[in-house]
Amino acid sequence: MTEIANNKKVTSAGQRPTWAEINLDALAHNFGIVRNQVGAGVKVMGVVKANAYGHGSVECARRLAREGADWFGVATPEEGIELRAAGIEQPILCLSGVWSGQELACIQHRLVPLIYRLETLESLDRAAGAARVVADVHLKIDTGMGRLGVRFDELDDFVSALSRFKNIRIDGLMTHFAAADEHSCESLTNKQVNRFESAVALFRERGFTPEHLHLSNSAGVFDQPSARGTMVRPGGVLYGLWRDVLDPTHQHHEPFKPVMSLRSQISLLKWVPPGETLGYGCTFEASRRTLVATLPIGYHDGYMRGLSNRGRVIVRGSYASVIGRVSMDLTLIDVTNVAGVAVGDVVTLMGPDGELAVAAEDVAKIAGTISYELTCGISSRVPRVYQSEKSST
């Protein structure tokens, strides 16, 4: 385990001093907020797709399982198989569906595919029949998002065709809100809820009894309390990412806690005279004698090029500016005003640090994106260091 002491990071021999700290206690705290929000009568699916939004799907799923997550949501069967290999036993829904040739793997690893095409049902039905099992699936209804799903106004023929699949059980129905947190889109959200309710009624009229009905993502959990169905699918809020996905005026009883912190260390210090330019393209020119620190982190690590000359970090309890263009492996910062700065000092590029913080949402805004893309983009070259007062295994 990597430790920080006296503003220095103690690393294993040969390890580059750039890392992401993952606070599993903060993850548990955020899950508790969701659980309290929806109440005991609604199941919670912890969405851990995309490597748990960059935080590490296995460790996050293990902790969420201990906290009482009922289901897990992944994007692909490959992600689900990774969780099964790590010992996760809860039901797992593959939110992006299943591709041709993956049907048997879903059956073998007890993964629930999301279905929106009859052709997929046909191949899954054959695979389930050959394995002598009944395969559970969740059907997705496109009520207005426009990505995946059977269109709400084309359901009649689709439902009529389901009777020929003898090895399939419709275990759940779902849809996905396009803008549950946007009050300007409230009309669309209301239409989505109504369309989904009509779809559920149609399935029941045709003799289907899906157990799980789910609409709400993170935004829906907090902004659409009447549309929780029997299960909700929080994602970003579990990782403390909320200010760019939830209504900022919404008051929570407890604040979400950021789960990821991104840190590096100063590898070089040098003084440059006024008028000297730094980095690719000469985009920064020193206006004074400037103390420049080099950090071993760049855009291949996920520290976005859009932060060039715009980002800020924390060093020794002070903010410092990113100067010059962020390059593939290195970033420069201005530490002229940081008292006592030294090679080896820890630098926080994202997350809390003493009395200060660099919020993921703020970093993402500077880079012209959202916090989800920022954390998902922290590459595998950056080791995740898991922190918890409790063991996560």
Give the residue extent of every domain in the chain.
Answer: 3-18+259-387, 24-237
Q: What is the pLDDT of residue 191?
A: 95
Q: Which one of the listed residues 8, 9, 43, 49 is annotated catalytic? A: 49
Query: Which residues in the chain come in under a pLDDT of 70?
Result: 1-13, 248-253, 390-393
Q: What is the pLDDT of residue 129?
A: 97
Q: Which one of the listed residues 8, 9, 43, 280 is annotated catalytic? A: 280
Secondary structure (H, E, C), the chain? CCEEECCEEECCCCCCCEEEEEEHHHHHHHHHHHHHHHCCCCEEEEECHHHHHCCCHHHHHHHHHHHCCCEEEECCHHHHHHHHHCCCCCCEEECCCCCCCCHHHHHHCCEEEEECCHHHHHHHHHHHHHHCCCEEEEEEEECCCCCCCEEHHHHHHHHHHHHHCCCEEEEEEECCCCCCCCHHHHHHHHHHHHHHHHHHHHHHHCCCCCCEEECCCHHHHHHCCCCCCCEECCCHHHHCCCCCCCCCCCCCCCCCCCCEEEEEECCEEEEECCCCEECHHHCEECCCCEEEEEECCCHHHCCCHHHCCCCEEEECCEEEEEECCCCCCCEEEECCCCCCCCCCEEEEEEEEECCEEECHHHHHHHHCCCHHHHHHCCCCCCCEEEECCCCCC
280 is catalytic: yes
Q: What is the pLDDT of residues 120-136, one digit of tens each?
A: 999 999 999 999 999 99
Q: What is the pLDDT of residues 153-196, one digit of tens each?
A: 999 999 999 999 999 999 999 999 998 878 788 899 999 999 99
43 is catalytic: no
Q: Can you identify the CATH homologous superfamily of domain 3-18+259-387?
A: Lyase, Ornithine Decarboxylase; Chain A, domain 1 (2.40.37.10)
Name the nearest CA neighbour of 137 among 112, 157, 103. 112
Architecture of the domain made up of 24-237 = Alpha-Beta Barrel (3.20)
Name the nearest CA neighbour of 237 among 228, 247, 227. 247
Q: What is the pLDDT of residue 250?
A: 63
